[in-house]
């Protein structure tokens, strides 16, 4: 254990599972991903914090061949083969009408819904907080012993029109999910150093 790791309370096995040994998968085995696994991930990551408990993330699981076929044309060429092959594909989207839930999820402030009356303010809140929740979700998928292959290389407007014609969802990320297959990893890419990321005032 390095001096740095000894500052952490999280056990080394969990550190490896979630971060140090976890990798973005580009191929997957045939082993299915069950609804029970995704439910367990939800029951874990739902506790992650969002502004005023907004919880704007919505997840669409593409299980059927028909649903998968509707997505593929909107992906960048290089993302199509792996998405066709993955056991499960999830669309991760922001609910821009999340404020309808505020009386239920933030009962301590009865007028919380009204704070988000402005559509632009609502959308920026929805996107920020749903994206935080996507970060939690990825680590939740890894908590279930699965690999995730996140993608942002797609035509977002095309996906929104195809899957969310009512206009109340904005796709942020798509993610392939499953057990890694053969040659699933590229070489690990360099990370920025502490000094490049953190400044102290």
User: Does the footprint of a second copy cover residue 185 (CB under 8 A)?
Assistant: no
CA distances from 104 to 53, 107, 126, 130, 182 (A): 10, 6, 17, 18, 46
The window from 63-71, 79-87, 176-184 that contacts a second copy (CB under 8 A) reads 63-71
The window from 79-87, 135-143, 177-185 that contacts a second copy (CB under 8 A) reads 135-143
| 172 closest CA partner among 137, 124, 127 | 127
Place of tokens 């140090």: 20
User: Does the footprint of a second copy cover residue 165 (CB under 8 A)?
Assistant: no
Where in 80-109 is the site for a second copy (CB under 8 A)? 101, 104-108
Whole-number Å distance between alpha carbons of 67 and 151: 17
Tally Cβ neighbours within 10 Å of residue 104: 9
Among 31, 43, 114, 118, indicate the residue that binds a second copy (CB under 8 A).
43
User: Does the footprint of a second copy cover residue 166 (CB under 8 A)?
Assistant: no
User: Does the footprint of a second copy cover residue 158 (CB under 8 A)?
Assistant: no
User: Does the footprint of a second copy cover residue 35 (CB under 8 A)?
Assistant: yes
């Amino acid at each position: 254990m390095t001096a740095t790791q000894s500052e952490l309370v999280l056990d080394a096995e969990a550190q490896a599972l979630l971060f140090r040994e976890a990798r973005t998968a580009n191929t997957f085995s045939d082993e299915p991903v069950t609804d029970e696994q995704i439910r367990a991930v939800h029951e874990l990551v739902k506790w992650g914090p969002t502004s005023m408990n907004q919880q704007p993330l919505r997840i669409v699981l593409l299980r059927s061949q028909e649903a998968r076929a509707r997505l593929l044309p909107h992906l960048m060429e290089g993302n199509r083969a792996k998405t066709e092959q993955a056991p499960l594909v999830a669309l991760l989207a922001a609910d821009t009408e999340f404020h309808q839930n505020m009386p239920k999820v933030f009962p301590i402030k009865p007028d919380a819904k009204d704070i988000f009356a402005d559509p632009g303010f609502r959308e920026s809140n929805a996107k920020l907080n749903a994206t935080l929740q996507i970060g939690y979700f990825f680590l939740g998928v890894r908590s279930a012993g699965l690999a995730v292959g996140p993608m942002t290389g797609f035509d977002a407007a095309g996906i929104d029109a195809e899957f969310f014609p009512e206009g109340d969802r904005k796709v942020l990320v798509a993610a392939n999910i499953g057990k890694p297959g053969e040659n699933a990893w590229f070489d690990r890419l360099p990370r920025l150093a502490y000094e490049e990321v953190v400044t102290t005032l």
